[in-house]
Amino acid sequence: MKTVVGVAVVADNRVLAAYRPDPDGGWEFPGGKVEPGETDEQAAVRELREELDLEIKVGASLGPAVNISPEYQLHVYLATVVSGDPVLREHSELRWFAAPELDEAGWLVPDRPFVRELRGRL
């Protein structure tokens, strides 16, 4: 099973969410596919640099991985900002959500268990 890593960047009790453009649009955690030879943490750091121009420190796992296809599972990690401000490149929108704003309706389905877990941690 290959892994897609999602990164829940938390700052000031808010989490950074990115909107994946339509047709399969929805809020997600920035990140992407782990490449061969890479750890989840290395992939997380690389993807956030590429997607957002953001330097992060990866923290704890937000819970067990969730299957998203026969080939891929999604694993989400907490992270903090080391430097930079997120730059919109590949998504249609970026937003910092506080706990009460984490309305599940808009999140990609595989992300929802991680969003629930996150709610208690912001």
Ligand X SMILES: Nc1nc2c([nH]c(=O)n2[C@H]2C[C@H](O)[C@@H](COP(=O)(O)OP(=O)(O)OP(=O)(O)O)O2)c(=O)[nH]1
Q: Which residues bind ligand X (CB under 6 A)?
A: 4, 6, 28-29, 31-33, 68, 74, 108, 110-111
The distance of closest approach from Cβ of residue 114 to ligand X in the complex, given in angstroms and rounded to an integer, is 8
Task: Tell me how far apart the alpha carbons of residues 98 and 109 are, in angstroms, rounded to a whole number.
Answer: 19
The distance of closest approach from Cβ of residue 112 to ligand X in the complex, given in angstroms and rounded to an integer, is 10
> For ligand X, which is the closer residue by CB, 4 or 120?
4
**Which residue is closest to ligand X by CB?**
32
The distance of closest approach from Cβ of residue 23 to ligand X in the complex, given in angstroms and rounded to an integer, is 12
> For ligand X, which is the closer residue by CB, 81 or 113?
113
**CB count, 10 Å around CB of 107?**
19
Structure tokens of 87? 């730059």
Task: Tell me how far apart the alpha carbons of residues 50 and 63 are, in angstroms, rounded to a whole number.
Answer: 25
The distance of closest approach from Cβ of residue 33 to ligand X in the complex, given in angstroms and rounded to an integer, is 3
Residues 6+ apart with CB under 8 A from 76: 5, 6, 7, 8, 29, 31, 61, 62, 63, 111, 114
> For ligand X, which is the closer residue by CB, 29 or 97?
29
